[in-house]
Amino acid sequence: MIIEGFAGFGTVVNVVGIIFGGVVGLIGGRLLTKKLQDTLQMSCAVAVIFIGASCTLSKMLKINADDSLEVVGIMMMIASLTLGGLIGEIIDIDGHMERFGVWLRSKTGNDGDSRFVDGFVTASLTVCIGAMAVIGAIEDRLLGNYTILYAKAVLDLIIILVMTASMGKGCIFSAVSVGIFQGTITLLAGFLQPLMTDIALSNLSYIGNILIFCVGINLMFGQKIRVANFLPSLIIASAWTC
């Protein structure tokens, strides 16, 4: 049975799912040795890498009528990542996210947790990037359809459970990022809906999955890519109509 709620109800469910998964992961993580936590983080990194890579390839490769494969969207990808990365570096989105994480760490009494900020930023990027967050929040407001965000809530619950077990309680506070991000989209849904054409959503998913892949790389090898600074790429990709 589908529960009927209010505008933003899907995001509330998503936030609750993240918090629940995080709490369970935090409790479970305390029962694991450092070696097991590291193994869990590596397994999470591999999963995120393959999710990002496989979903990107599904958008990048097109099967023609003669069963040959064609690579599409290369110029859109290059332009979006290049221009978006430059804009993000100038704005310093990554720095702002880290400072927000430091502020959250202080306000929640977790100053002694050296992993808090990394956990918060990494988890926030993982659960906020993607077409599900955007289209789900729009349908929440305009159609009263929470199905997409219900599905996302389950996925995020599992992801954050694993991340929290290996990276600590900072991951739980990605619920704040999801609430702000999806809540804002819900409020702006009337304006955004006409812009979210099939091409825009496909491009958004294309670039979003590349960024998810980059998050996995950071999980695996430590922060090598300032993924947050590439977030403007999502806007450029959505506006690309070629």
On whether residue 111 sits in a domain, the answer given is yes
Count the domains in the chain.
Answer: 1
Q: How confident is the model at residue 164 (pLDDT cuts 50, 70, 90)?
A: very high
On whether residue 188 sits in a domain, the answer given is yes
| H/E element, 55 | helix 34-60
Give the residue-averaged pLDDT of 64-85: 91
pLDDT digits (tens, 9 = 90+) for 191-229: 887 888 889 888 988 998 899 899 889 888 877 889 999
On whether residue 197 sits in a domain, the answer given is yes
pLDDT digits (tens, 9 = 90+) for 18-60: 999 999 999 988 888 888 888 888 888 898 899 889 989 998 9
The pLDDT of residue 12: 94
The pLDDT of residue 143: 80
On whether residue 195 sits in a domain, the answer given is yes
Question: What residues contact 52, with CB distance under 8 A and at least 6 apart?
Answer: 209, 210, 211, 212, 213, 214, 215, 216
Task: Please give the distance of CA 95 from its chain centroid, rounded to a whole number.
Answer: 17
* Residues spanned by the domain of 197: 9-239
On whether residue 1 sits in a domain, the answer given is no
On whether residue 30 sits in a domain, the answer given is yes
Q: Which SS3 state, helix, strand or coil, does residue 143 take?
A: coil
CB 55 within 8 A of CB 205: yes
| Range list of H helices, 61-130 | 74-91, 93-107, 116-128
Averaged pLDDT score across all residues of the chain? 89
The pLDDT of residue 1: 43
pLDDT digits (tens, 9 = 90+) for 96-108: 999 999 999 999 9
